[in-house]
Structure 1
Amino acid sequence: MSIIQFILDLGPTVMMPVIITLLGLLFRQKISKAFRAGLTIGIGFAGINLVIGLLVSNLSPATQAMVKNWNLSLDVMDVGWPISAAISFGTTIVPAVFLLGFAINIIMLAFNWTKTMDVDLWNYWHFIFTGALVMFATNSLILGLVAAGLTIIIIFKLADWTAPYVQDFFGLDGVSLPHTETVSWAPLGIGINWVLERIPGINKIDLDTEKIQKRFGLFGEPMLMGLILGGAIGVVAGYDLKGVIQLGISMAAVMFLMPRMVRILMEGLIPLSESARDFISTRFPGKEVYIGLDAAIAIGHPAVIATGLVMIPITLLLAAILPGNRLLPFTDLAILPFFMIWAVAPSKGNVFRGIITGTIFMIGILYIGTAIAGVSTTMAQSVGFAFPEGTAEISSLDGGAHLVPYIIYKIIELIF
């Protein structure tokens, strides 16, 4: 456990260079090439995290101001994904899930049951979250591990299935995204897009950011879209002129910088992908392997960020009007672009369809977040989480986004 904790405490920006360098050596790269690729990927992740930090640090106060200005009062607090992750890592199931995840990935790769080699170890907390939910709901470690194992298998298969979108639409060659709270929604997103494509009138509306940019020039560029959307959120949040301008510029910077950070990461990843393909094709003809990474590398697409920003006020409105919803969106409103990846990708960047699909996603996320509030609160109490004053129950939008884990959790709960 102490070894695992030490590795986790390094964070992805340190873990990635180490993991990628070791993989490069495994695939017969020279140590200089492997180390350079690993370090470049680490720098890319550091850049992505800096831009995400810019996004979150500027959006969080705006979203909190919206909650206050709209006088929303619901009894389950969204404490955010960092708290959900910390609570998950504090449970006793952690070492077993890590070992289980490694074993399943190796076995599935060996028997050609998956193409995804998941190097995103930090986000194993998603699998831990699943196991902990079931363990606390059933008082059974065995059932918790069964739930975690099923989640791992399904997520790897979904990552394989969605890899063509990742590679064609996002331009991330040789990459898949085994990221539980995002890829869980891919089948629904693809299904909704299939329906929208067959509705007369609706299927003619195309708010594609690339087409907008070609048609309107400067006024269609992602950075100007960020300026406009950021400013609009500032207005809705009740900011003064200074605050509106500052938020607009910050969102313009996010829209401009994020794709560049992803390109840096891909500069390091491409040599690894090529070496992996050469190594595997030589020893295992016909076998293909994807590098499984954090979905953070996909939110740099302008359509994803734009859809995520538009969905912030829509999510607050949904929280206020949905019957039975008890979750007050708060901390995780700033990371809505993550949840919009599979609302946007199936339509190849159509923001209009992304908003429709994203609205359906957020309805489900709010209800799931509400449904797991009781067991999430029990988990938090078991690890000594300090509850915000006046808060009886906690959950998160991110927890609500764990669709596959929730389905497994409900099935096991009904059976046992």
Structure 2
Amino acid sequence: MYFLQAVKAGVNWILDLGAATMLPIIMIIFGLILGQGFKKSFKSGITIGIGFVGLNLVIGLLSESVGEAAQALIKSLGINLNIIDVGWPVGAAITFATPLAAILIPIIFIFNMILLYFNFTKTMDVDIWNYWHLIFPGAMVYYATNNNMILAIIATLINTVVIFKLADWTAPVVENYFGLPGISLPHGETVNFAPIMYTLNKIEDKIPFFNKIVINEKTINEKMGIFGEPLTIGLVLGILLGALGRYSLAKTLTLGVQMAAVMVLMPKMVGLLMEGLMPISEGARNFISKKFPGREVYIGLDAAVVIGNPSNMAVALLMVPITIILSVILPYNKMLPFADLAVLPFTVIWAVAATKGNVFRGLINSIITMCGVFYIATDLGALTTTLGHAVNFAFPKGATMISGIDMSCHVTLWILLKLISSKTFIIGLIALIIYAGMWIWTRNDIKKQYKQYSEN
């Protein structure tokens, strides 16, 4: 009892420090272990912290401005659905408040080290603050099985293995498309869409005419000049959102400038972050090559480091009004998109990356993604609400059920929940076969993309 309390207190202390404080400390220690020396390790660690501070400031600007505009649009359309999207911060809070969290954080970390040692994964996940995405499936299984902790832990570890393997598989895209060598993204609610998105892209490659449409950053710049620059795209999309939300002219123009700022500043903050990460990443590769010849390791980070990609941001901003419209016209959907509309840049990452930045296909595939998210949110709304009640979450006024876009992006969680119930086992088995089949069918596609990138 006292041991668990001490573990929980230690975990909470680390989490309370935040990524911008704790990650530099971790990276300094990691650099020293890798033999980088104190000066180099210290400079890298602090630079990483500064990069995260800058990145979070830009994401905060994005969340505040887009979130407010989206809420104005929802109000102007008079949309009313009975499951409220309470946002990822609430998802993280109720997950960390469950009895499982304190023991699962060290378990996941140790499990990651064991997988690395036996070369079952190449990803070393240092993004401890986003462990909640790995714990959330376990928490949902815990309450779905009448507090069966053993089954919840097993479900968590199964989900973690899948996410790490997906992160390994997609790491070449992170390097060659997003320009972040030595980095992987074990971000549960984003990377589990990769097999689905690569499958859609593969099918679209075979559709006549459709497969010839290419609208990416390069073609936009070539055909539109300054109007194709990221800052102009951000300005125009911001003004569009303001107009749809019936903002005043002054407020609409302000939103346009804010979105232009996001489009310009986000890549610069990521660049600063990478300036600090590069020496650590190179040191890790050299260390692994000496100790374990022929092996490599990726540093697992928050997907926030890639959302600033211009094509990704363009698709995400277009998806704000589209998502709101989808919530109304989709049959069966009961979730009102709200707090998490600002995290759409995370949701669409692999819809865009799988198409190598083709905004046209990325938008089509993002719409398909959101349809799936709405159905998962509606299907799991009752269980998510149960989790919220169990940890005494203060529900928003008038809300009877809660969920969220972010919480409903966990495809692997949905499959696990279907598999553990005798009533839905067949559905879960079919979903598992389809999901695994898509992954197997597209498993070599990233290798082909990598070869193509290396030749360009």
Q: TM-score, normalised by structure 2?
A: 0.90
Q: Which residue among 5, 14, 17 is the counterpart of 2:24?
A: 17
CA displacement 1:155-194 (0-9 Å, x = unmatched): 0000000011111000000000000000010110111111
5 Å-filtered alignment, 1:352-367, equals: 352-367=360-375
For residue 86 of structure 2, what is the amino acid of its counterpart? V
Deviation at 1:361, TM superposition (A): 0.3
CA contact (8 A) 1:97 1:127 kept: no
CA contact (8 A) 1:158 1:184 kept: yes
- Alpha-carbon distance change, 281 to 375 in structure 1, aligned in 2, over 3 angstroms: same
The answer to whether residue 427 in structure 2 is matched with residue 400 in structure 1 is no
Q: Which residue among 74, 87, 93 is the counterpart of 2:81?
A: 74
CA displacement 1:48-78 (0-9 Å, x = unmatched): 1000001011011110011111111100000
1: distance between equivalents of 2:49 and 2:415? 34
Q: Paired residue for 2:202?
A: 194
CA displacement 1:79-101 (0-9 Å, x = unmatched): 00000100001000012211221
The answer to whether residue 287 in structure 2 is matched with residue 279 in structure 1 is yes
CA contact (8 A) 1:134 1:413 kept: no
Q: SS in structure 2 opposite 1:252?
A: helix
For residue 222 of structure 2, what is the amino acid of its counterpart? K
For residue 146 of structure 1, what is the amino acid of its counterpart? I
2: distance between equivalents of 1:211 and 1:355? 16
The answer to whether residue 117 in structure 2 is matched with residue 110 in structure 1 is yes
For residue 367 of structure 1, what is the amino acid of its counterpart? Y
**Structure 1 unaligned regions, length at least 5:** none
Q: Paired residue for 1:55?
A: 62
2: distance between equivalents of 1:165 and 1:195? 19
Q: Paired residue for 1:40?
A: 47
Q: Which residue among 140, 164, 171 is the counterpart of 1:163?
A: 171
Q: Which residue among 374, 386, 393 is the counterpart of 2:394?
A: 386
Runs of 4+ in 1 over 2 A off after TM superposition: 214-217, 413-416
1: distance between equivalents of 2:66 and 2:392? 29
The answer to whether residue 221 in structure 2 is matched with residue 213 in structure 1 is yes
1: distance between equivalents of 2:229 and 2:352? 18
The answer to whether residue 359 in structure 2 is matched with residue 351 in structure 1 is yes
Deviation at 1:346, TM superposition (A): 1.0
1: distance between equivalents of 2:278 and 2:318? 33
2: distance between equivalents of 1:409 and 1:149? 14
The answer to whether residue 63 in structure 2 is matched with residue 94 in structure 1 is no
Deviation at 1:216, TM superposition (A): 2.4
Q: Which residue among 208, 211, 214 is the counterpart of 1:203?
A: 211
CA displacement 1:103-152 (0-9 Å, x = unmatched): 22111111111100110011000121111100001021111111111111
CA displacement 1:276-299 (0-9 Å, x = unmatched): 111111111001000000000010
Q: Paired residue for 2:350?
A: 342
CA contact (8 A) 2:52 2:273 kept: yes
Deviation at 1:214, TM superposition (A): 3.1
1: distance between equivalents of 2:172 and 2:30? 23
For residue 260 of structure 2, what is the amino acid of its counterpart? A
CA displacement 1:190-232 (0-9 Å, x = unmatched): 1111111111111111110122113322111000000001111
Q: SS in structure 2 opposite 1:372?
A: helix
2: distance between equivalents of 1:334 and 1:31? 39
Q: SS in structure 1 opposite 2:124?
A: strand
CA contact (8 A) 2:83 2:400 kept: yes
Deviation at 1:371, TM superposition (A): 1.3
For residue 68 of structure 1, what is the amino acid of its counterpart? K
CA contact (8 A) 1:147 1:409 kept: no
Q: Paired residue for 1:372?
A: 380
Q: Superposition RMSD on alpha carbons, in Å? A: 1.0
Which deviates further from its counterpart, 294-303 or 233-242? Answer: 233-242
Deviation at 1:389, TM superposition (A): 1.2
Q: SS in structure 1 opposite 2:131?
A: helix
Deviation at 1:326, TM superposition (A): 0.5
Q: Paired residue for 1:247?
A: 255
For residue 208 of structure 1, what is the amino acid of its counterpart? N
Deviation at 1:34, TM superposition (A): 0.6
Instruction: Determine what percentage of the aligned residue pairs are the same residue.
Output: 50
CA displacement 1:372-396 (0-9 Å, x = unmatched): 1111111111111111111111011
Q: SS in structure 1 opposite 2:420?
A: helix
CA contact (8 A) 2:96 2:102 kept: no
CA contact (8 A) 1:44 1:264 kept: yes
Q: Paired residue for 2:311?
A: 303
CA contact (8 A) 1:163 1:177 kept: yes
For residue 275 of structure 1, what is the amino acid of its counterpart? G
Q: SS in structure 2 opposite 1:117?
A: strand
**Structure 2 unaligned regions, length at least 5:** 1-7, 426-456
CA contact (8 A) 2:87 2:339 kept: yes
Q: SS in structure 2 opposite 1:287?
A: coil
Q: Which residue among 317, 321, 325 is the counterpart of 1:313?
A: 321
CA contact (8 A) 2:19 2:129 kept: yes
1: distance between equivalents of 2:300 and 2:395? 34
CA contact (8 A) 2:182 2:298 kept: yes
Q: Paired residue for 1:153?
A: 161
Q: Paired residue for 2:92?
A: 85
CA contact (8 A) 1:368 1:406 kept: yes
Q: SS in structure 2 opposite 1:347?
A: coil
Q: SS in structure 1 opposite 2:354?
A: helix
Q: TM-score, normalised by structure 1?
A: 0.98
Q: Which residue among 178, 187, 200 is the counterpart of 2:186?
A: 178
Which deviates further from its counterpart, 85-94 or 191-200? Answer: 191-200
1: distance between equivalents of 2:254 and 2:351? 28
CA contact (8 A) 1:78 1:328 kept: yes
Q: Paired residue for 2:236?
A: 228
Question: Paired residues, what number?
Answer: 416
